[in-house]
Amino acid sequence: MVLENSETAFPNLAYYYARIRPEKGLTCLIRLYESQPARRLPICKAIGEIGTPAALNFILTGIWLKKKQDKDIYSLLAGLKSSGRIVEKNEIKWLLSQKLNREEFMILSHLRTKFTQEELIGLFQKSPGEQAYAVQYIFSNPSENFESLKWVVAREYGRRNYNTVLQWMLSDSMRKITNKDICDYREEMIRKSRDKM
């Protein structure tokens, strides 16, 4: 109980306890999760960082149960991200079939997955939700997803969506790129898009 009521170090004491004694510390964090609904984000991140099977099970079960009740899962997704767990493709696809708010959608695109470049292109060609996810995922790491990035840019450019291409090329993730090939490609697409507008 002392751990759960230590406001000055919320939820740090329970988190460190869980790192030393996972089974007991996790129980404290779960009690905090249940008793502090307004402060679930740091609690879920702490649970995710513990990374034990029991911690991951708590997060995954919470995601499925809350989403089936159409409730917010942002904190739980943040915990899943903190765990570093590779999220299975079928889990991502299930989540994409649910009603997600903007924050949930954004964090979903930053979870670790094993989508190939071809699978990302395939997602881009499906429903609007899957297309938006593919774009967010691709542009969250342009260097790693350069082949699929070029494909989606070429498709939108071919559809005369020059403003969309320009927005993508001016995004923060693209401006921070240091790879010369990607920088050259970015500059070329900015120039070509502006010339068409």
Residue 37 lies in a domain: yes
Please tell me the predicted confidence (pLDDT) of residue 21.
76
Residue 10 lies in a domain: yes
Give me the mean pLDDT over the 149-157 stretch.
96
Residue 15 lies in a domain: yes
Residue 48 lies in a domain: yes
CB atoms within 10 A of CB 178: 7
* Tokens coding 175: 């401006």
Per-residue pLDDT tens over the stretch 61-107: 999 999 999 999 999 999 999 999 999 999 999 999 898 898 998 89
pLDDT exceeds 50 at position 118: yes
Per-residue pLDDT tens over the stretch 168-177: 999 999 999 9
- Range from 27-41, 112-126, 150-164 that averages highest in pLDDT: 150-164
* Tokens coding 142: 């342009």
Residue 58 lies in a domain: yes
Please tell me the predicted confidence (pLDDT) of residue 8.
46
Spatial CA neighbour of 165 closest among 133, 141, 135:
135
Give me the mean pLDDT over the 50-56 stretch.
91
- Measured CA to CA, the distance from residue 39 to residue 29 in angstroms comes to 11
Residue 7 lies in a domain: yes
Residue 81 lies in a domain: yes
pLDDT exceeds 90 at position 3: no
Residue 127 lies in a domain: no
- The interaxial angle of helices 22-35 and 40-50, nearest 10 deg, is 160
The pTM of this model reads 0.79
Number of H helices, E strands in the chain: 13, 0
Give the end-to-end CA distance of the chain in Å, rounded to a whole number: 63
Total domain count, the chain:
1
| Confidence band for 127, pLDDT divided at 50, 70 and 90 | confident
What's the whole-number average pLDDT of the chain? 88
Please tell me the predicted confidence (pLDDT) of residue 129.
86
Which structural domain, as residue segments, surrounds residue 81?
Answer: 1-94
| Confidence band for 1, pLDDT divided at 50, 70 and 90 | very low
